Structure 1
Amino acid sequence: MAPRRLLLVGEGNFSFAAAQSETLDPSTTSIIATCLQHPADLARDPLAGENLQRLRERGTEVRFGVDCTQLADAFELHDREFDRIYFNFPHCGRKAGVAKNRELLAKFFQSCADVLAEAGEVHVALCRGQGGTPADKPRREWHNSWQVVAMAALGGLILSDVHPFSCEAVPGYKCTGYRSQDKTFHVEGALNHIFTRSLPFECFQPRIFRIRLGDQWFSFPEPEALTGKLNRGFLEAPSCHPIRTINEKLIAELGKAFSLKRLKCPFPLLSQGDTSVLTSWNYDIVSAAFWISLLEDNSNSESLTDGTTQDMEEFLLSFSELSLPGDPERDDKEEAHEGIYGQAKVCLRPSLLVHVQTVIQAPDFLPGSLYILSGPVFKKCLILPFTMPAFHETLLILEFNQNLKDGCLQSLLDHLKHILDSLLTQTLLEGSKLSSSVEFVLQQNGKDYMISVKSHNFDPDGAKDLIIGSVTTSTISIIHKERCFVFVSMNLDLLAMLVCGISDWRMLWTSDNRFLKNFVSGKIEPFKSYSLYPPCYAHDISFWLDEKKGFDELEFHTVAREVSQDTVISIQFLSRFQHPKTEQVSLCYRLIYQSCDKALTKQQVASMQSQFRKEIQQRLRVIPR
């Protein structure tokens, strides 16, 4: 195994390099120590001379005149893969302000991208308050800090860890000032910031999926708001995703108290007729669905990209079993297909409740057995911290006699509460108090419940009530009066966030394999984020409304989600203005951009905001001001 390669830049008196060389095993670690100065510049510094002698005696490579903002120029192409790059207490010198030092950091991080190994780390030590992150105590105002995380983003790097910098941990290290001046930096309260590569922030195009119905092929584009979220297989074996682990544990515990019937979840593409069961419960669910146009596609599947072909084959598993209603006036199969697809009456499943009627009307449906269905669902929603356009749902279906309703329902709720409370304590440290508790909140109709979790995990100052599911009793419109049903729907993504301490739902959908490395199949583990304190960027937008068209706020949020690739985390309404003469109405909103797993730069956000202005003008018929 090749030794780890360490690159030390900006060395002043080389005491850090000397300490590292004498601490680390040369058989497993090689060090290259560099500084901007030339040997003549260090001739008057006896400490530097002593340390250089120590380095030479140990065979450590030393290079002079190395500019940390142009590292690629200092190393040949075959000599650039460094596992760690250290830069301790960077500074432009003398009375350089924060802007100059930000520029230094930005150029350094961009330079690191050229010489850092794929899984490498960049270590930057900064004096107290300079970084501008919540880890600084006290924390400076953002504009008065070096904005280290935002500067690192310019090099495609994210902050993965931060801890106190201790000179005592590096025996013999003596921090120097700029260019080895006698005046040293104040290192009390200093922090070491550890950066790693982010996945590239590419402009992903929605994938095209091909599906077969009978002997016909059709294609449809992935909705832009769901780019990268279709067909991920989180619930399928051998996935070790925490959503699957929690779902399996939930089902296993229910199996101890009930006779279980586990059903395979159908394909999430539905015809318009399949959504009729929802309208009696919640019309808003149907209105917020992602509707899709199916196009006849006779192209050769071999011409598709590898990724699309793989997705296509998995999509075929259940789609051929779809029952699409035909036009009653046209019996010909091909004409019926043409009518359905031409009318684009197809949507992605907004809830597993669409499958209730099929399950309970099946000939082999058994009263008293607990039927379980788990799968992904998709629906448009406002941009809020705990709402998501795609998530995984588990649906429980239980039938019992009307006379036994109260006792059976209470038994199911008691078991659910016990199981959920147990899951929420899985990752607690020994001796810790329960930070979350499950409650069933009775609704105004006196028969249905919302499943609420009062959690302190995401709001240290106060408990946050999160609705993770619902309990719905049967309605006469679909059930015989003497039969009583209960349907329990739970949002597995929210449950996983609570159990594992994942504060951002978008992290569940990341493609970065570092996320799954936190978890072992079948075991619940607390999540340790590898992307800390990502910077936020605020942009305001105001526009004139078209009185005839009105304003669809849900679509406004959906466009923002699409254009920003889910980096808009908040949309705040600021003001409404009506022109005194024309009476035309203008609205003003503030968009907050932040990525949870990728390096997001100020420049990228500005580009997204510009594109957002164009999109709402075209799609919502508003006029940006």
Structure 2
Amino acid sequence: MCVPESAGRESKDIMVPRRLLLVGEGNFSFTASLIDTLDPGVSVTATCLQHPADLEGDPVTQENLQRLRERGVEVRFGVDCTQLARALQAHERDFDRIYFNFPHCGRKAGVAKNRELLAKFFQSCADVLAKEGQVHVALCRGQGGTPADKPQREWHNSWQVVAMAALGGFILSDVYPFSCEAVPGYKCTGYRSQAKSFRVEGAMNHVFTQSSPLEGCQPRALRVRLGDRCFSCTEPEALAGKLNRRFLEASSCHPVKTINEKLIAELGRYFPLKRLKCSFPLLSQGGTSVLPPGTFDPLPAFWVSLHEDKSYSESLTGEITQEMEDVLLSFAELALPKSPGRDGYGAAQEGTREQVRLRLRSSLLAHAEAVIQSPDFLPGCLHILSGPVFRKCHILPFMMPAFHETLFILGLNKNRKGTCLASLLDRLKDSLDNLLTETLLEGSSLRTSVEFVLQPNGKDHIIHGKSLHLGPDCTENLIIGTVVTSTAVTHKHPCFAFVSINLDLLAMLVYDISDWRILWTFDNRFLKRFAPGKIEHFKSYSLYPPCYVHDISFWLDEKKGFDELEFHTVARAVSQDTVISIQFLGRFQHPETAQVSLCYRLTYQACDKALSPQLAASMQSRFRREIQRQLHVSPR
């Protein structure tokens, strides 16, 4: 990559480069040309694998070296790009940019050898690159193996640059044509400065940045204060990193929060609003609902167990105490059920070790009864409840185990029920359409549409959203919400409309976010791409993440049975949400024993982290062990 061309492509959250390292320089013509484009304060270190004696006979190289010395550029010989930490002392590291143009093992080395070179190079870069630095690798046409190459090589015949970078913890953040014209005087040379140079027509420059480690996303221990007592709980493994994220709080600039506020503001143009606080994500089992059976909780819930924690104050350092206090504040209004039976608060108060078992809320509709029974419920006012919900689900592109929901509750005049409901639907559709058109340029056509589909019962509706920009997986209409009407005979306002909106799916449609998992990332680069309260198209910082496919077959235990939803849940937990597809391949029954075997295909792909082939294989191995332990099957 050439610095002049890159300047306009820099993201606002990337540091201005001050220290550059160039590796694998042949005749040093790239460095000699590059220094003319740099600010005087930029420090440049140029290295090559050859020793000075190997370059004495090349007048072009000697001329470039003389020019570099005159400009104060540090030149080092005999530097192996796969062992940079060995060549550079600790105080010489922390480079903002590392450049490697047209790497090659030499002569007729095949793709396997060159992949190995790239893998070791990226692992070496991790030791000398600054935290927010970039690694630039220029490759000849087709070598990278990404869709940016025209034409794209078959994966097995490419250098698989993104997968090799993942071994060093890097993700591909940008890719574009390599331009020799941007650095006049640059002449690409072959391996070890051989006369035969590489063909740079159609070459691509790949820009890599460091990703957060996958290993760091483990279930967190959370503490809950109830009165003067403390309890601890652990996130379900399938929800690691998804509890207590506070995306909807006042201080948040998360896109889900922005979408929620804009939708509420749009509806506020037509209805008086009353916002209700919903700060606790846990619910007890049981309870009644004003809604018909099956209206909410369509999928099984996640359960957590609270254990009394007497060592809270004594065992924590000051730093961790502050972190845990933040957690306590978020759960401050959590209340255990008043009559939960054997799992209740009474057991905890008696000092026993019996656990309190609660389930995570799977729908805000569970709170509908409490809202409409409240003495300050106002007819004609749109009551609003927003918060995270959690539910077990199959692994599909637009099915998510955790998302944010907004529930709108409106009491309807019994005599004007039809008119009031029609008005609500019209206003809601207008509000959603306004959100979806906010980022459209003048003269462009709407690429996302919203449709209200009447259900067979003749009164409820499903809200469909269809987009043309979410890729081939979005071939069906997405269910972004529901409208349910209900009658409560004992209530003074017996007719109600409940509108449930999946804010995460709505945000994906509005911001052009193709992968729901990115909404839950801990990577600071995600939020830096959004201005508070502003809607703009999202540009991913992790391009063309590779996929890894693994098959698994196992014998069923006839006595235990087989729960496919739990199979998906275990896969989600073990893979830390990197399994993006589970495909059923077939069923086999042994002709003699009649024992049944199932076969599935799992596809692994990370959306914002470096997932290497080795790490995916390791996850698959653990998955085999876990289904044997949890589901009582016998892997074949």
The residue number in structure 1 matching 2:264 is 251
State the secondary structure of the residue aligned to 1:272. Answer: coil
Q: Deviations over 1:460-480 (max 9, x none)?
A: 69854111010101145x765
Shift of 1:55: 1.3
Task: Map 1:247-396; keep pairs closer than 5 Å.
Answer: 247-274=260-287, 280-282=293-295, 285=298, 288-304=300-316, 305-306=320-321, 309-320=324-335, 322-327=336-341, 334=346, 342=354, 345-396=357-408
Cα deviation for residue 522 of structure 1 reads 1.0
CA distance in 2, matches of 1:429, 1:461: 25
Instruction: With the length of structure 1 as denominator, give the TM-score of the two structures.
Output: 0.94
Q: 1:4 aligns with which of 4, 13, 18?
A: 18
Paired residue for 1:430? Answer: 442
Q: 1:218 Cα deviation (Å)? A: 2.6
Q: What amino acid is the match of 2:312?
A: N
Aligned counterparts of 2:345 and 2:26: Cα–Cα separation in 1: 80
Distance 1:300-1:336 versus aligned 2 partners, 3 A rule: closer
CA 1:381–1:419: 2 relative to 1, 3 Å: same
- Which of 10, 13, 20 aligns to 2:27? It is 13
The alignment status of 1:133 with 2:167, answered yes or no, reads no
Partner in structure 2 of residue 209 of structure 1: 222
Letter of the 2:622 counterpart: Q
CA shift digits 1:144-199 (9 cap, x unpaired): 00000000011111111111101111111111111222211111111000001111
Aligned to 2:133: 120
In structure 2, relative to structure 1, the CA distance for the partners of 1:596 and 1:399 (3 Å cut) is same
- In the other structure, the counterpart of 1:24 is 38
Higher mean C-alpha displacement, 512-521 vs 401-410? 401-410
Q: Is the contact between residue 231 and residue 311 of structure 1 (CA under 8 Å) also seen in structure 2?
A: no
Q: Does 1:64 align with 2:77?
A: yes
Distance 1:438 1:499 in 2: 12
Candidates 168, 171, 179, aligned match of 1:155: 168
Matched, 1:543 2:543: no
| Cα separation, partners in 2 of 1:118 and 1:335, compared to 1, 3 Å | closer
Could you tell me whether the CA contact under 8 Å between 1:209 and 1:311 is conserved in 2? Answer: no
Shift of the 475–280 alpha-carbon distance from structure 1 to 2, 3 Å rule, reads: farther
Q: Give the deviation of 1:275 after TM superposition.
A: 6.7
**Residue in 2 that maps onto 1:571:** 582
- Indicate the SS of the match to 1:235: coil
State the TM-score, normalizing by the size of structure 2.
0.93
CA contact (8 A) 1:438 1:451 kept: yes
Equivalent runs, 1:463-612 vs 2, <5 Å: 464-476=476-488, 480=491, 483-612=494-623
Residue identity opposite 1:163 in structure 2: Y
What is the CA–CA distance in structure 2 between the aligned matches of 1:484 and 1:462, rounded to whole Å?
A: 36
Q: How far apart, CA to CA, are the structure 1 residues paired with 2:526 and 2:322?
A: 21
Q: Which 10-residue stretch deviates more, 72-81 or 266-275? A: 266-275
The change in CA–CA distance for 1:493 and 1:81 in structure 2 (over 3 A counts) is same
Distance 1:548 1:475, change over 3 A: farther
Identity %: 72
Letter in 2 for 1:611: R
Does the 8 A contact of 2:284 with 2:359 survive in 1?
yes
Find the aligned partners of 1:152 and 1:333 in 2 and give their Cα distance. Answer: 51
Alpha-carbon distance in 2 for matches of 1:215, 1:596: 42
Q: C-alpha offsets along residues 392-440 of structure 1, whole Å, 9 cap, x if unaligned?
A: 0000000111221111111111111111111112223333211001000
Does the CA-based 8 Å contact 2:225-2:332 persist in structure 1? no
Aligned length: 619
Write the deviation string for residues 541-587 of structure 1: whole angstroms up to 9, x where unpaired: 10000111111011111111111111111111011001111111100
| Change beyond 3 A, Cα 1:397–1:529 | same
What is residue 407 of structure 1 aligned with on the other side?
419
CA distance in 1, matches of 2:143, 2:96: 25
The CA distance in 1 between the partners of 2:269 and 2:330, in whole Å, is 33
**1:203 offset after TM fit, Å?**
4.9
Residues 275 and 343 from structure 1, CA distance in 2 versus in 1: closer, same or farther, beyond 3 angstroms?
farther
| Larger displacement relative to structure 2 (311-320 or 445-454) | 311-320
Per-residue CA deviation, residues 240-270 of structure 1 (Å, 9 max, x unaligned), is 1000011111111111110000111141111
Shift of 1:217: 3.2
Q: Which residue in 1 is equivalent to 2:3? A: none
The Cα of 1:301 is off from its aligned counterpart by 3.5
**Aligned letter for 2:196?**
K
Displacement of 1:484: 1.2
Q: 1:42 to 1:486 in 2, by over 3 A?
A: same
Task: Call closer, same or farther: CA 1:340–1:241 in 2, change over 3 Å.
Answer: farther
User: Cα distance, 1:299 vs. partner?
Assistant: 2.6
State the Cα distance separating 1:45 from its structure 2 match.
2.0
Unaligned runs of 5+ in 2: 1-14
Query: How much is the aligned-residue C-alpha RMSD, in angstroms?
Result: 2.4
Task: List runs of 5+ in structure 1 lacking aligned partners.
Answer: none
Q: Secondary structure at the match of 1:542?
A: strand
